[in-house]
Amino acid sequence: MTNIETRPVPSTITSEEIQTGQAMCPYCGVGCLINIKTRHNQVIELRGTPDSPVNKGLLCPKGALLGPVLDLPGRLLHPQSRAHRHENFTTLTWAETITQISTHLRAILEKYGPDAVAIYGSGQLDTESWYLANKLFKGYLGSNHVDSNSRLCMASAVVAYNTTLGSDGPPTCYEDIDYSDCFLIAGSNMADAHPVTFQFVKARRSANPATKIIVLDPRLTNTAKQADIHVPLQPGSDIAFFNALGRIFLDRGAADGDFIAQHTANFEAYANHLRSLDLDELAQICGVPLALIQRVAEVIMRANGWLSFYCMGLGQSTVGTAKHQALIDLHLMLGQIGKKGAGPFSLTGQPNAMGGRELGGLAHLLPGYRQIENDAQRYEVENYWGVPTGSIHPQRGLTAIEIFQALESGRIKAIWIAATNPLVSLPNLAQAKRALAHAELVIVQDCFETETSQVADFVLPTAQWIEKECTMTNSERRVTRNMKLAEPPAAAKPDWWIFSQVAQAMGYAGFDFTDNRQIWDEYRQLTAGRPCDQAGMTNERLLEGPLQWPCPTADHPGTPRRYENHRFATPDGLARFIACDHHAPKETASPAFPLVLTTGRLASQWHTMTRTGKIPKLANQAPLPYIEIHPADAQKYAISSGDEVIVGSIRGEIRVQSKISERVQPGVVFMPFHWGDLFAPGQATNNLTLDLFDPVSKEPEYKACAVSVRRAI
Ligand code: SF4
């Protein structure tokens, strides 16, 4: 352990007055709006906003228990640094910190060039902060090694939206739930991970009993338990399932010929591909009876409005992009898109994962969904930022896993990590640890001490949640301005302020902002004319309430649903069918590692537990990491419920408690991923997972790795 100074004491009391305002919940991408009252920098009242269309007053237990987060232990209070990693940290002033960081960065740039610096951010960073970091690295430092933990969960969804519909960003909105009579939930334990939205799905079925909920999941999750049809398909067989549905739609004449002819391209090639497939073989790959697939197809074909929700169960795969494309193909075939109650709807896991994509916070993007490798789009941004032509490198940068590989190989020397905890959340943690140990400079910027801050050279304390005013976009393209209702403790600062100070210390113009509203004004105007147009979202309007993009002008009401005119965001306005082939997960069971591990989330925890792990009512629901194992496998390996078991993959071993459960299939085991070394030393699930990734989206394959289990002696 290091001696990072954290927060055992309440924040400085600066206000006697009650502050009242609204902010989004800082956890999942549902983006529930909350009415909050604070006094003395403490939350004294907190309720879901009754008239918010996102949550209609509801909050899940994580949101309802947000009150204590301002005063949890482990809060970072002052900037700190150390000359060597084995030494303790020393507290610095901000002036010292900014000078030292800018000096270090400049020295590394001069010695190795811009290819040696990278930033790894997060879907938890607000839009203004991540916009500035992106501007600093891509526009001024000349490095496109700017990536985010959104790469780990949403990158495949991004690519698939782009390749099929011409633009990232879901076509759908939460209001569509009220018009749908068929919900397909694929690769998402929505009941636990996006619980408020799932409540509305269930409410729709209660109000309209003909409505069906279909869940595709290898595991009998809490979502699957509440489904009308659960398809317990084999891990990684989603494309085979979607292709089987497509073939049935085709054979039954369900394709919407007019929609396909007028609004899509490549249908014949896609249809020919489906015709070349054998339904019995597809069902065999899925590990479910063909009759079950036919039943699902019939329910979908009968639906007036078919809405698909999906999440990391599709994306976290070496063929994650194709999984998304194969599902979107089906919506296009039936014309179930661009109308009320229908369409593909990706669920985001973090509060501003969508905003981070919009502002170009990934290694291949620039603000406004512009592509780095598009010369005209790159010049537009250079011109807008006032930097010389050629300042932005013309090639895309390295992505999350690649950045950590480049740190280990020595190509990248300096890494700035903001609002994320890669030493719990990245796959193959042994590699991530080696990578950071090898780096010359590790800067970690966060509001709480984390496993990652413990290995840093500089630790920068940040304001969290309602300690700053900021802007975020939720899963349905709804942009919300969070109000500041408490002072950050001690020396903690908003992320945007830290980036702007370092940029100015390095001598760069264009960073002399004094508040987030100035940054927002610069950013929103850069989105003008782009698919994610937020130019009409002035500060004044956002202070009155959230708006959904596109919202191009100050009098535009915002856009709940995209593509209602069936003109897509491709150059010719036509959506694209993309024929996709099933490929098994890269790592399959073997004699040495005979079980397939799939990972996921718990309703009571969020990400790496930095906040939810310290709230007893949440933490007590699952106090220890565990593995779910089917009774047949438990018997085979002589494991009883509650035994300590050693779970091993080719990358490492951990010890966790066993839970014998028929929620998993024989041959498949499940582990939640939340615990890291701070909460369960040495037992992080990601010690086991593999860091192979989809070659297009670069999203890693968390959902299937080969493991062994044995009882600890
Ligand atoms: S965690 Fe998600 S569903 Fe729960 S209150 Fe927060 S935003 Fe809403």
Ligand 1 atom with minimal separation from the 28 CA: 2
pLDDT-derived band at 14 (thresholds 50, 70, 90) equals low
CATH of domain 80-153+351-548: 3.40.50.740
Report the pLDDT averaged over residues 424-447: 98
Residue of 451, 457, 434 lying closest to 652 (CA atoms): 434
25 lines ligand 1 (CB under 6 A): yes
The two three-digit tokens of residue 687, written as one number? 């010690």
Q: Do 563 and 165 touch, CB atoms closer than 8 A?
A: yes
Distances (CA, A) of 78 to 211, 318, 464, 676: 54, 41, 14, 24
Q: What is the pLDDT of residues 667-703, one digit of tens each?
A: 999 999 999 999 999 999 999 999 999 999 999 999 9
Residue nearest atom 8 of ligand 1, based on CA coordinates? 32
- Whole-prediction pTM: 0.96
CB 611 within 8 A of CB 605: no
Separation of 196 CA from ligand 1 center, angstroms? 7
Give the residue whose CA is nearest to atom 5 of ligand 1: 63
How far is it, in rounded angstroms, from Cα 562 to Cα 531? 10
β-partners of residue 89 are none
* CB half-sphere exposure, 662, CA atoms < 13 A: 1
Residues of the chain with CATH 3.30.200.210: 19-71
pLDDT tens, 448-477? 999 999 999 999 999 999 999 999 999 999
pLDDT at 70: 94
CA distances from 16 to 12, 19, 245 (A): 12, 9, 61
Distance from the alpha carbon of residue 27 to the mean position of ligand 1, in angstroms? 6
> What is the 31 CA–ligand 1 centroid distance (Å)?
6
**Model confidence at 549: pLDDT above 60:** yes
- Model confidence at 713, pLDDT cuts 50, 70, 90, reads confident
Strand ranges of the sheet holding 458-461, from the earlier edge strand across to the other edge? 90-91, 80-81, 458-461, 441-446, 414-418, 117-121, 146-148
Using CA atoms of 288, 289, 295, 300 in order, give the dihedral in degrees to the nearest 10: 40
Q: Which residues pair with 669 in a beta bridge?
A: 597, 629
Task: Answer yes or no: is the C-beta of 196 below 6 A from any ligand 1 atom.
Answer: yes
462 secondary structure, DSSP code: B
Closest CA to ligand 1's atom 3: 196
Express each pLDDT in 132-191 by its tens digit: 999 999 999 999 999 999 999 999 999 999 999 999 999 999 999 999 999 999 999 999
The number of the ligand 1 atom at minimal distance from the alpha carbon of 48 is 5
CATH 2.40.40.20 segments of the chain:
595-711
Comma-separated ranges of CATH 3.40.228.10 domains in the chain: 158-346
What confidence score (pLDDT) does residue 8 get?
Answer: 38
CA distance 317 to 205: 31
- Distance CA(411)–CA(327), nearest Å, equals 38
Residue 706 CA, distance from chain mean position: 24
Measure 472 CA to ligand 1 centroid, in angstroms: 14
- Is the alpha carbon torsion for 533, 536, 541, 545 positive or negative? negative
DSSP bridge partners of 648? 653, 708
Ligand 1, atom nearest to 24 Cα: 7
pLDDT of 278 strictly over 70: yes
Residue 607 in contact with ligand 1 by CB distance below 6 A: no
Note the helical H segments in 439-550: 495-505, 516-526, 539-544
Q: At what angle do helices 94-112 and 495-505 cross, to 10 degrees?
A: 60
28 CB less than 6 Å from ligand 1? yes
Distance CA 429, CA 198 (A): 32
Q: Quick check: CB of 193 below 6 Å from ligand 1?
A: no
Whether the pLDDT of residue 4 is over 60: the answer is no
From the candidate CATH numbers 3.40.50.12280, 3.60.21.10, 3.40.228.10, 3.40.50.10490, the one assigned to the domain spanning 158-346: 3.40.228.10
- Distance (angstroms) between ligand 1 centre and the Cα of 73 equals 22
CATH code of domain 19-71: 3.30.200.210
Q: What's the pLDDT score for residue 17?
A: 85
Element (H, E) at 481: strand 478-482
Distance 28 CA to ligand 1 centre (A): 5
Centre of ligand 1 from the C-alpha of residue 30, in Å: 6
The topology (CATH level 3) of 595-711 is Barwin-like endoglucanases (2.40.40)
Of 442, 441, 431, nearest in space to 408 by CA: 431
Indicate the top mutation candidate among 24, 27, 474 to test ligand 1's pocket, ranked by most ligand atoms within 8 A of CB: 27
